[in-house]
Structure formats: structure tokens, C-alpha cells
Amino acid sequence: MRILVTAGPTREAIDPVRYLSNRSSGKMGFAIAVAAAGRGHDVTLITGPVSLPSPAGVKTVRIGTAEEMLVAVRGHVPGCEVLIMAAAVADWRPKTFAAQKQKKDVTSATLELERTPDVLQSVLPLKGERLFIGFAAETEHVVEYAQRKLVAKGLEAVVANDVSRGDAGFEVDDNQVTLVTPDAAPEAWPLMSKREVAERLVRWVEQRAC
């Protein structure tokens, strides 16, 4: 199968030296891309700024902002059968970009924000028969919020992470996820390495695609 995976954060610039972003390291998305390529799939990985090297055997596209993520995902969805959105796309960006570095000689400042494009939502018109799998990073009501995302976007699955845990989620090597699907009860997977989560998810995708 041709599988498109997204990973990492996006960065939304405030001025030439500062940005808004989040704690995503890219480990989860990269692990999925590696697992899928290892199982013989044709994999494209679109990643935000992370310190991980491009995986062997995976076409890797590096982007910076949510807007660039949207352009890259939109361009690659028509050529894939499966989209797995593990990226932590920033939800807000500064409304204006200051062309010069903002001086710190004020005691307080206010940053006006606007929503970034919702990448997954924006490519839904291209979905057709493709499998679309989202992730959900939540700190409370994890499964409930994941179910809402699943239904709102008509996805095949949402992989829900409780990112309030110290031993799973952002940055660390392990993850504990719950697979939320429309036709079965939520499936809580045990805490395991991101490599093992990725293997299990890719095998689930293979079965679901048959």
C-alpha cells in the first residue's frame, strides 16, 4: 500500500527568532513510517522540524508551518491509500508576523492569535475510499474527545494518547494509546515502545484495508 504519514510539530513564527510550537519530537510518526516501510509499504513521511534523521527507504518531506503541512499533505493524499496523521500541528499562530526581532524593553506584551488550518479537515474532500487515521493528544476525557474527532471527521480510527502521563506521549520512547474506531469498543493497548505501537497500528491498517 502507499501510506502517507505525518509527524512532529509545526512552528508558527512570531518574529525572525521566535515561534509557537509544541513538544512533539516526531518519534511516534517516524516509528510508524519505519514500521510501514519495514512491512513492504511505499511510505511518504511529511514531518515538521525534528532532530531525527530521515528513515532509510522512506520518502521524507520536511516542512515548517501548519500552512506548509497542509500544502504538502494535500499534494500527497491523491497518491496514497492510507493517511496517518500523527503530527501535532499547531492549532494557533500569531495573527501578524513581525519582520524585525521584537525588543524586550516592555514589561508585558500581548500576542494576538488566529487558528491555523485544520489539515485533516481540509483534506477530507479528497478522502474517497482512502483510510484516514487521526491521532488525538488529550490531557482529560481522552477517549470521549477522540470519539468526537472520529465522528466529526468520519475517520476509520483515532489513536488517542493521554499526554498528561510522564511515561507516554510527547518526547519519550514509549506510548500508551487507545484505538478508537466506529465499529468496536475502544481498545486500550498496554504501555509499549513507540516502535511496537507503530507495528501494531500498521498491522491493524493492513487488516482494515483488506
Task: Tell me whether residue 55 or residue 169 sits nearer to ligand PMT (CB atom).
Answer: 169
3-class SS string, the chain: CEEEEEECECCEEEECCEEECCCCCCHHHHHHHHHHHHCCCEEEEEECCCCCCCCCCCEEEECCCHHHHHHHHHHHHHHCCEEEECCECCCEEECCCCCCCCCCCCCCCCCCEEECCCHHHHHHHHCCCCEEEEEEEECCCHHHHHHHHHHHHCCCEEEEEECCCCCCCCCCCEECEEEECCCCCCEECCCEEHHHHHHHHHHHHHHHHC
If you count them, how many residues does the chain have?
Answer: 210
Q: Which of 19, 132, 170, 204 binds ligand PMT (CB under 6 A)?
A: 170
In this structure, how many other beta carbons lie within 10 angstroms of the beta carbon of residue 41? 21
Count interface residues toward ligand PMT (CB under 6 A).
27
55 part of the interface to ligand PMT, by CB under 6 A: no
3 part of the interface to ligand PMT, by CB under 6 A: no
169 part of the interface to ligand PMT, by CB under 6 A: yes
Q: How far apart are CA 94 and CA 8, in angstroms?
A: 20
Task: Tell me whether residue 102 or residue 124 sits nearer to ligand PMT (CB atom).
Answer: 124
At closest approach, how far in Å is the CB of 206 from ligand PMT? 20
At closest approach, how far in Å is the CB of 16 from ligand PMT? 23
Q: Examine the residue annotation and report whether 22 is marked as an active-site residue of this protein.
A: yes
Q: Which of 45, 137, 179, 180 binds ligand PMT (CB under 6 A)?
A: 137
At closest approach, how far in Å is the CB of 70 from ligand PMT? 8
Of 36-44, 75-83, 101-109, 118-126, the segment contacting ligand PMT by CB under 6 A is 118-126
> Which one of the listed residues 21, 22, 181, 193 is annotated catalytic?
22
Q: Which of 5, 36, 37, 87 binds ligand PMT (CB under 6 A)?
A: 87
At closest approach, how far in Å is the CB of 42 from ligand PMT? 21
Q: Which of 15, 91, 174, 196 binds ligand PMT (CB under 6 A)?
A: 91
Catalytic positions are 22
